[in-house]
Structure 1
Amino acid sequence: MKKIIKLILGGIAWGCTMFTIIGIIIALIMGQDNSFMMSTSDYIKQAVLSIIIGIGFTVPSIVYDYENISKFLQFTVHMGTGFCIYMICAYMAGWVPTGFGLGAVILSIAFWIIISLAIWFFFYMYYKKEAENINKKLKDN
């Protein structure tokens, strides 16, 4: 239970961080001449959905604690669950550009798959390096 709570809190942090970073990027792209405004209810909806997405990607990572499951299945469960939650939330938030046709929707999905895989890859490399450091310390003792 402690691990789940830690993952939920980490998901909230990730969701808020990504919401802020993406908001800054959008504001920079729009430039100083444009106003970047949304209603209070839209802001709250966007923020809450970002938090849900963060939780949706962090909580399923608990699957990596089960060593009897293949790495591919762990990855599939983790990313599949996270991405399904993302797609539902993104549609609800209006982040999927459905008004621009199927090509724009596919491009949007591909973009977020690439971003999700990049984040996963960096975490994978980080934890792999940590394991190597721990193994090296164990061998030195």
Structure 2
Amino acid sequence: MKTFLFRSLIGIFFGAFIAVMTTMSVVYFGGTEWFNGELFIKNAFGTMFCGWFFTVSPLYFEISSLRLPQQTALHFATVIILNFILSLGVGWITFDLENILCFTAIFIGIYAVIWICFYLYYKNEAKKLNDGLQNIDKNT
């Protein structure tokens, strides 16, 4: 529970940071002098919720009773469903077939790249640890 709460706070704060930085960038680089306050608040809450579920959902990978394909399927289903609901609700994507298919393809592509990077990283770390353990056995 402590890990869940800590990650929740980190995700919410990171989402808020992204919202503010995006708004500042649009103002500074886009030459916009004013914003619709209601739209800013809606997008800020959207990014905070997005930050929350992307930092909390990796807890599936810490459940040792689940195998990696189960953990991945649960994580993927959680984030794609919540991301769709959020994106449609906030207005980041419109509700038509072309946008939904495009969003799905981009999401799956990015998810696959990130998943493969994490998999290779942890596989490499496990190899380093196993090599270190084998060297300990040889030295004793």
Q: TM-score normalised to the size of structure 1?
A: 0.72
Aligned partners of 1:41, 1:52: CA distance in 2, in Å? 17
Work out whether 1:111 is the aligned partner of 2:67.
no
Aligned partners of 2:79, 2:33: CA distance in 1, in Å? 28
Q: What is the deviation of 1:19?
A: 4.9
1:24-43 to structure 2, matched below 5 A, reads 32=30, 35=32, 38-43=35-40
Q: What is the deviation of 1:76?
A: 0.7
* One-letter identity of the residue aligned with 2:41: I
Q: TM-score normalised to the size of structure 2?
A: 0.73
Gaps of 5+ in 2: none
What is the percent sequence identity of the aligned residues? 26
Gaps of 5+ in 1: none
Q: Is 1:57–1:78's contact at 8 Å kept on the other side of the alignment?
A: no
Deviations 1:28-80 (A, max 9, x none): xxx75x74964222222212211212221221221222222121111011111
Q: Aligned in 2, Cα 1:57/1:136: closer, same or farther, shift over 3 Å? A: same
Larger radius of gyration: 2
SS of the counterpart of 2:61? helix
Deviations 1:86-105 (A, max 9, x none): 1111111101123xx42122
* One-letter identity of the residue aligned with 2:70: L
Q: Aligned in 2, Cα 1:135/1:51: closer, same or farther, shift over 3 Å? A: farther
Aligned partners of 1:13, 1:138: CA distance in 2, in Å? 39
- Greater shift, 71-80 or 51-60, is seen at 51-60
